């Protein structure tokens, strides 16, 4: 089993690795068609590090934070040997329903162009489109091209999802995002999806973003201010809290809509308990590096729970902060 098979799951990658060995090379060299999983993965890795330094080299970037060069100290990113870039890129393919057909389809040069392309590809509804136009993604992306339709690292072993996956998840929860709705965003990261939820017409409702890395919670508060949405924090429409999202957030329960931004081995019981009658939970389920599915879980007015699979995905794991930081 190859390293990529190990990290992505043999069932996902194996059909695309049927290459041919190059004679006299000393080790098998695999043919990679341009649209194959490894070729896409290589492109994605290079998107993170266009010129990956050699093992042990210091990580730097021309991107700046408040005018200063962005270094790994800003992002808390640890340099790893180059043969582990594949693992990092694989884990960073957050929320990609099909890495062969979907990623990079809707990229744009501006936020509006990105949303236009999402809409042209029939990913975003009118309501989702309006919410996404009201939040400029560049205010929530730490490093990289904010308008690229792909995930980007935000440090601390976490990533911000690809825009098309945000659009998909918003569409799945759109019917629950009505005036007075209570929304829980588990693994809120830099606050982008939390801000999108809050941008729906939701008078008298509340959106809670829960993140277990306190530094990211602090960053999300700053990002709301950069995006001109600090009033949402002041008037109580949005709460950004630090905690273990696997346990939900009881003070504001029950929730009409719950979104989880990382893959759980199984659905946390607390999230089912805190789901309101008539509510919906969208959560990726599956082992780290293995087969994962985006599940849609509904609770009807009688309290009965039903579940269906929306699509196959690849997410980083829903885990505790210590494990996440240790394996970043």
Catalytic residue ranges: 161
Nearest to 91 by CA among 80, 101, 148: 80
Distance from the Cα of residue 319 to its chain's centroid: 14
Cβ neighbour number for residue 251 with a 10 Å cutoff:
8
- How many helices (H) and strands (E) the chain has is answered by 13, 11
Nearest to 106 by CA among 27, 164, 56: 164
Handedness of CA 80, 84, 87, 92 (dihedral sign): positive
Look up residue 74 and give its two tokens: 């800003």
HSE-CB of 120 using CA atoms within 13 angstroms: 10
Cβ neighbour number for residue 34 with a 10 Å cutoff:
7
Cβ neighbour number for residue 76 with a 10 Å cutoff:
16
Classify the phi-psi angles of 50: left when phi > 0, otherwise alpha if psi is within -120 to 50, otherwise beta: alpha
Residue 105: CB partners within 8 Å, gap ≥ 6? 117, 121, 149, 164
Taking the C-alpha atoms of residue 310 and residue 114, their distance in angstroms, rounded to an integer, is: 24
Cβ neighbour number for residue 257 with a 10 Å cutoff:
29
Residue 142: C-alpha distances to residues 46, 95, 149, 190, 195 (Å): 17, 18, 15, 8, 16
Locus of tokens 């040997």: 81
């Amino acid at each position: 089993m190859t390293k990529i098979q190990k990290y992505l799951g043999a069932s996902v990658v194996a059909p695309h690795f049927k290459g041919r060995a190059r004679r006299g090379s000393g080790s098998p060299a695999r043919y990679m068609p341009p649209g194959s999983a490894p070729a896409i993965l290589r492109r994605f890795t290079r998107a993170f590090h266009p010129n990956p330094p050699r093992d042990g080299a210091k990580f730097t970037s021309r991107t700046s934070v408040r005018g200063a060069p962005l270094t790994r100290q800003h992002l808390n990113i640890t340099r790893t040997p180059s043969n582990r870039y594949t693992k990092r890129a694989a884990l960073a393919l957050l929320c990609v329903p099909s890495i062969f057909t979907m990623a990079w389809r809707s990229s744009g040069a501006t936020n509006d162009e990105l949303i236009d392309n999402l809409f042209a590809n029939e990913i975003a509804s009118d309501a989702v489109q309006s919410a996404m136009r009201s939040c400029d993604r560049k205010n929530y992306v730490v490093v990289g091209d904010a308008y690229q339709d792909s995930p980007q690292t935000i440090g601390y072993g976490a990533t911000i999802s690809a825009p098309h996956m945000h659009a998909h998840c918003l569409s799945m929860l759109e019917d629950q995002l009505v005036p007075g709705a209570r929304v829980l965003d588990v693994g809120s990261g830099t606050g982008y999806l939390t801000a999108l939820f809050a941008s729906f017409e939701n008078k008298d409702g509340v959106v809670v973003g829960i993140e277990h890395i306190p530094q990211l919670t602090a960053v999300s508060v700053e990002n709301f201010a950069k995006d001109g949405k600090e009033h949402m924090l002041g008037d109580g429409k949005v709460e950004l809290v630090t905690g273990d999202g696997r346990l939900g957030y009881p003070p504001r329960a029950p929730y009409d809509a719950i979104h989880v931004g990382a893959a759980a081995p199984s659905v946390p019981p607390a999230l089912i308990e805190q789901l309101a009658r008539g509510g919906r939970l969208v959560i990726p389920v599956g082992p780290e590096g293995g087969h994962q599915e985006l599940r849609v879980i509904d609770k009807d007015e009688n309290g009965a729970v039903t579940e269906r699979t929306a699509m196959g995905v690849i997410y980083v794991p829903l885990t505790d902060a210590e494990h996440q930081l240790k394996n970043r």
